[in-house]
Amino acid sequence: MKLIAGLALLTTNLFCFLLFAHDKAAAVHGERRVPERVLLLSACLGAAPGALLAQRWLRHKTRKQPFGAWLALIVFAQACAVAGLAALAFQRT
């Protein structure tokens, strides 16, 4: 079960990273962009690490506001959720 969850999380984050990369390429070439709400939704669905990594590595959407604030909020919420789940897991042992 843990392996499946890990693979799902890895796949989700990879998809989000590639979505950011596609949007960056579209921006550079003047093509149709991925809507910000789609980028944020993909981050919301458990892919905040992939979104944050893509934002830093690709230097994409780093100065865009309120996008950056929303992404930071999503990262914070997911970090809190992970910390809460870890605390519950350690309580059981």
Mind listing the pLDDT tens digit for each residue in 11-28?
999 999 999 999 999 999
State which residues form the domain around 49. 2-92
Q: What is the pLDDT of residues 63-81, one digit of tens each?
A: 889 999 999 999 999 999 9
Q: How many CA atoms lie within 13 A of 1 on its CB side?
A: 0
| Number of folded domains that form the chain | 1
Residue found by looking up tokens 């809190």 in the block: 80
Helix axes 48-57, 67-92, angle to 10 degrees: 140
